[in-house]
Structure 1
Amino acid sequence: MKRTLIRGGYIVSVDAAVGDFPVGDLLVVGDRIAEIAPHIEAAADEAIDARNMIVMPGLINAHLHTWQTGLRSIGGGWTGPDYHKIMHGNLGTRFLPDDNYIGTLLGALEQLNGGVTTLFDWCHDITDIDYAHRSVDALEEAGIRAVFGHGSAKPLAGEGDVPFTHKPHPRARLEALRKGRFASDDRLVTLAAAILGPQFSTPEVVEHDFRMVKDLDLLSSSHAARRPADRVSPEGFFIPARLGLLNAKHNVVHGNYLSDEELKLIVDCGASVTVTANIELHVHPADPVTGRLRALGAMPSLGVDSIPAANSDLFNEMRLAMLYQRSIEHRVNHNAGCGPLTVLPVPSRDVLEWATIGGARALCMEDQIGSLTPGKKADIILIDGLALNMFPVHDPVHTTVQQANFSNVDTVLVDGVVRKRGGKLLYDDNTLTQRREALRTSVTRIIEESGYRPVPAGALS
């Protein structure tokens, strides 16, 4: 097995038992972290000079619709209803399997480049199993660790059509993937079910979908972004909870309009909640649930969600989630007539945990990833502390959360394999040029077929 020695970095382990090392070494053997110490004497096949670098676990993007990458910022002016009408009712219906492949590939490479070593790819335009296979082909080609969330398309229903809210998740398709390509969970890309959930489906569909994922022993995830009056199943997550089907293998995304009682139920059942602050502040009046989760003793995870409307840099997502929650807590304190807070709310270290350990918990992978812990997978990033927007580094956690961006990521290892070195993604330049052209061709066709005119003529040429 290959032995890689990372030398002399400032190690931020995100593991209280391991702690941090102002100067430390980390030994990787094969795909695992073997040792972390102030100094390690060991033979190595490769040595990585980490002086002036922050060494930390790779970030975990717990929610991304990666297939939409080629439509970057097309929805920067959309409302929530606009997104559903234009994306799912029009643009999304024009995608073919190869469009999923090219969008997912460029999106996964972008995430790797930005220090994300694990991605929950929530793929919800699937109408045929070929869409799923091509999306997974892309994730595997990129070399990122990923959970592929098999979803279903959500077109607008025509007169006499059965709406998607009344359609159970296509079990036959999911089962074929589970028994075929994903028969083993011991692989870099694993399978999950991106189900509708109680806010977007009838009680009968809710029960079908939750029983299905239990039968197939899969992680599942669902959106919870509808106002109470718009929910298809008003009982919400009380339905799967009553059936004994709501547990740690379910992930809830958003949750802004959940009542305190329903949010507590979700937490008490062990399910996780992913906050996507950028999108939630973009289209929702209700606050992200970050603070409410913390009050319940739960740790949120973070996701980017939808690149057509959101910034795709997870460092940006960390900052936005932190600053908005800080603002809430300052205002609550002020409106209560109290003086200035004596301790700044929402510490930077907590936010870093949301993007690492929190994501690992959401994906039921905390025993494998999320921290630099001997025995865990070697998913590691090195951040350049000499970059002008980083230097000088007085506190690596504050600096990472409040200053860093994707361009500061110098080195990325996934499963012990170096995927980025010296600030350059290790993906063939000529191939990347070809893939960019393929993405341009893909989205140009999709937009032309849709009749939607988001940009001035010629902007895509």
Structure 2
Amino acid sequence: MSINTAAPHPEDFVAGRPFVFRNAIVITVDTPGVLENADVLVNGETIEAVGSKLQVPEGTLEIDASGGILMPGMIDTHRHMWQTALRGYGGDWALSQYFVFYYLQHGEVFRPEDIYAGNLLSALESVDTGVTTTLDWSHALRTPEYADAAMKAFEEIPGRFVLGYGNYLGAPWEWTAAPEFRSWVASHSPTDMHGLQIAFDVPDSENFPEKAAFEFARENGLRVTTHAGVWGATTDNAIDHMYSGGFMTDQICYVHGTTLSRESYQKIAATGGTVSVATESEQSAGQGYPSTWQLRKYGISASLSMDTSVWWSADYFSAMRATLSADRSREHLEAHAKGETVNANRLRAEDVVWMATMGGAKSLGMEDKIGSITPGKKADLLLVMNDQSPAMTPILNPNVHVVYQAGTADIHSVVVNGRVLKYEGKRIGLDLAPARDAVAQSVEFVRSKLGEQAWVEGMHPALAPNEPIDNPYHYQDDDTK
């Protein structure tokens, strides 16, 4: 069949018209692995074929991907998207300051329109940076009106999103029992593009009141995402309650999972649970040491996440790089403590690419639909290609290149559900202005409600003075000359 050999323009990408990436290095994250000079044909919402010199339908658009790496769209399994409206505000916080700001002092300030603004900007940023699926750990949904605002943002950005419905200012056994919440859930049918989970935590307690929330999730066929193994907040006691109650299944994602005991990791592994690792968050905020070095010992499936842009950006290349580096750093430290050395790194770049793609799909229960470049799966794709970037040549080890060399500036194309949302480094029909303006109004409102003093103090937490260490060594002039 003949094809359109001229380079396509954004206006050429119309619904229903097939297109093919030609001559790419394809990281399938599936059998047969990495393919050189390969083609990927997209027809409708799905990947139709993967191979060399594919025969394609009449009128297929051709994208020359020579010198580029085509990989599955990345998947973030834990992001508090609404907090993107205060991007970078808490960059100097420790976790305690985060809790104080949102949970104790200013959480009630935020309105539904603030949730919408943060979600809109975060959703746009997700697809712009090649994160084609994002789980919104939306723990500020005090009423269904807030949930409607979160979903409204998703309807305006054509990415793939999962709403993790949560309410950190209420008890999960209470808000999941509220008639208005149950009515909202009953009126929303999850789809491949807009999924639904329940998001809540299980802090230490004797009587396990969160049991009622787990029961609601199970009765309604909803997966649960929960922060676990967070130092001083969610401990092994929570895992014990969940396991004894029969709620630990492959429907549960444990976020962070950094400070758990051997027995807790074994329980997660035995019940098929997954862990969402947010390395930059764990390194900076203090939930515990990033857990991949433990998870791989127990055979626990890991995915990656960015946590919140009140601290960090949505740069998923940074997430992969930090995760691989943290795992190797810990492995070296553990070896050195025993007087040994590491002769081969156990966690490899391809493992982290898997976490960023198939690991995320598995965590969301969507491994049969997304996460790899496999014929029949949804066409969620990312082309990393930049002819003007010194870091993009030569490409010798594609997985390592994605993790340690490439960056967001090298994103050429982003495809979600067969729709091209970014091409030649530019978004198609997704203007920043609406999100920027909504966030500006949200920031103005929140700042006015806090007051200027509280606003400034919240951004710059006070530090206790350092205790000086006595130094017996002093520089002295030699007077004998």
> Do both proteins adopt the same fold according to a TM-score greater than 0.5, normalized to the shorter chain?
yes
Q: CA deviation at 1:378?
A: 0.5
Closer, same or farther in 2 for the Cα pair 1:319/1:106, shift >3 Å?
A: same
Indicate which of 183, 193, 201 corresponds to 1:188.
193
- Write out per-residue CA displacement over residues 222-250 of structure 1, whole angstroms, 9 at most, x where no aligned residue: 1125435x55x863122222222210111
2:276 partner letter: T
Is residue 153 of structure 2 the alignment partner of residue 138 of structure 1?
yes
User: For 2:34, which of 10, 14, 20 is the aligned residue?
Assistant: 20
Tell me the SS of whatever aligns to 2:455: coil
Taking a change above 3 Å as real, the CA distance of residues 247 and 138 of structure 1, as seen in their structure-2 partners, is: same
Alignment partner, residue 38 of structure 1: 52
1:31-180, aligned counterparts within 5 Å? 31-43=45-57, 44-154=59-169, 164=171, 167=174, 169-180=176-187
Q: Distance in 2 between matches of 1:421 and 1:246?
A: 42
TM-score, scaled to structure 2: 0.87
Once residues 443 and 192 of structure 1 are traced to their aligned partners in structure 2, the CA distance between those partners, rounded to angstroms, is 28
Between the two proteins, what is the percent identity of the paired residues?
A: 30
Tell me if the contact between 2:167 and 2:175 (Cα under 8 Å) persists in the aligned partners.
no
* Bigger mean CA offset, 48-57 vs 116-125: 48-57
Partner in structure 1 of residue 400 of structure 2 = 398
- Which residue of the partner structure matches residue 227 of structure 2? 223
Higher mean Cα deviation, 85-94 or 98-107? Answer: 85-94
Q: For residues 325 and 77 of structure 1, what CA distance do their matches in structure 2 show?
A: 24
Indicate if the aligned counterparts of 1:4 and 1:45 stay in contact, CA closer than 8 A: yes
* CA offset digits 1:256-281 (Å, max 9, x no partner): 22111112111211111111111111
- Aligned-partner SS, 1:70: helix
Residue number in structure 2 paired with 1:350: 351
Residues 109 and 142 of structure 1 are in contact (CA less than 8 Å); yes or no, is this contact kept in structure 2?
Answer: yes
Q: Give the unaligned 5+ runs of structure 1.
A: 155-162
Match of 2:23 in 1: 8
Q: Check 1:8–1:298 CA distance in 2 against 1; reply closer, same or farther (3 A cut).
A: same
State how far apart, in whole Å, the 1-side matches of 2:144 and 2:231 are. 32
Aligned Cα RMSD in Å?
2.1
Task: Identify which of 263, 286, 289 aligns with 1:287.
Answer: 289
- Measured after TM superposition, the shift of residue 358 of structure 1 is 0.8
Q: For 1:377, give the aligned amino acid.
A: K
Deviation at 1:382, TM superposition (A): 0.2
Following TM superposition, the consecutive aligned residue runs of length 4 or more in structure 1 with deviations greater than 3 angstroms are: 163-174, 200-204, 225-228, 454-457
Provide the C-alpha distance between the structure 1 equivalents of 2:287 and 2:439, rounded to a whole number of angstroms: 34
TM-score by length of 1: 0.90
Q: Distance in 1 between matches of 2:288 and 2:276?
A: 15
Structure 2, unmatched stretches of 5+, are: 1-15, 460-481
Contact 2:75–2:134 (8 Å) recurs in 1: yes
CA distance 1:113–1:200, shift in 2 (3 Å): farther
Shift in alpha-carbon separation, 1:385–1:391, aligned structure 2, 3 A: farther
Change (3 A) 1:371 1:428: closer
CA apart distance, 1:454: 3.3
Count of residues in correspondence between the two structures: 440
Q: For residue 209 of structure 2, what is the aligned residue in structure 1? A: 205
Distance 2:360 2:204 in 1: 24
418-427 vs 113-122, which moves further: 418-427
Bigger CA radius of gyration: 2
Aligned position for 1:369:
370
Partners of 1:364 and 1:88 in 2: CA distance: 30
Q: How far apart are the structure 2 equivalents of 1:456 and 1:172?
A: 36
Look up the match of 1:160: none
